[in-house]
């Protein structure tokens, strides 16, 4: 049995992994899908104080309080920032680290920094919630389920830098990058994802995989993603 911890992305929630969670559980594995504070099913806790540290703590506390060891830790999209920030606290418990079409930061990187987006002013009364892009789903039923459940996202999560005591390649776990290769008609290509995929392709310290779908891999191709996770785990 393998223990998986699946960390969702921005504007989403743990429900985005529901198909993969059921498939992994049905195969006899233990699966945790933490819901990050202030978005998704915990959107009622949104506030200007929610930032990357909040979400890192969500994941770290789940792993420590449940005493999960060893784990396969998966970060989807923005979740790549979160799982990276969690490593100094729980990295010794990680057997494999999977970035699922995700940001791969180094120490001091923020999400906006990786995208080259100027940091908005954090002055009194400034907007603190960010609206996400319209995403492409392969299944109309999945789109009908998911679209009403997308929420605004606190901007502090995108401006706060990650803290990491040593480079990713120096940690003893396996590193896997999974790139979604299909273009989305209404969403510009994400240069940070392609840079992360190129980093993985160029290094013997990484395993690089691809899935031919758009960004919401877990909702578009749950069976294919489950098979990949079982393979790399």
Active site residues: 77
CB neighbourhood size of 117 (10 A): 12
Specify whether the CB–CB gap between 228 and 178 falls below 8 A: yes
Q: How far apart are CA 190 and CA 4, in angstroms?
A: 26
Q: What is the total residue count of the chain?
A: 233
Alpha helix positions (H), the chain? 18-26, 52-66, 79-85, 87-90, 111-115, 140-146, 156-159, 191-201, 217-220, 222-232
Q: Is 131 helix (H, G, I), strand (E, B) or coil?
A: coil
């Amino acid at each position: 049995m393998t223990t998986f911890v699946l960390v969702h992305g921005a504007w989403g929630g743990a429900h985005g992994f529901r198909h993969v969670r059921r498939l992994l559980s049905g195969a006899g594995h233990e699966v945790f899908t933490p819901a990050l504070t202030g978005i998704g099913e915990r959107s009622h806790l949104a506030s200007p104080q929610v930032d990357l540290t909040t979400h890192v703590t969500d994941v770290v506390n789940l792993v420590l309080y449940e005493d999960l060891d060893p784990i396969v830790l998966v970060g989807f999209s923005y979740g790549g920032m979160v799982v990276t920030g969690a490593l100094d606290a729980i990295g010794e418990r990680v057997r494999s680290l999977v970035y699922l079409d995700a940001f791969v930061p180094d120490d001091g990187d923020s999400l906006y920094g990786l995208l080259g987006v100027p940091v908005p002013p954090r002055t009194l009364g400034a907007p603190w919630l960010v609206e996400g892009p319209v995403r492409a789903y392969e299944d109309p039923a999945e789109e009908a389920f998911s679209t009403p459940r997308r929420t605004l996202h606190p901007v502090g999560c995108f401006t706060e830098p990650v803290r990491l005591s040593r480079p990713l390649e120096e940690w003893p776990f396996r590193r896997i990058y999974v790139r979604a290769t299909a273009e989305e008609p209404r969403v510009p290509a994400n240069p940070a994802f392609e840079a992360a995929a190129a980093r993985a392709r160029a290094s013997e310290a990484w395993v690089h995989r691809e899935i031919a779908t758009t960004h919401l891999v877990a909702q578009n191709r749950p069976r294919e993603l489950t098979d990949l996770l079982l393979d790399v785990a």
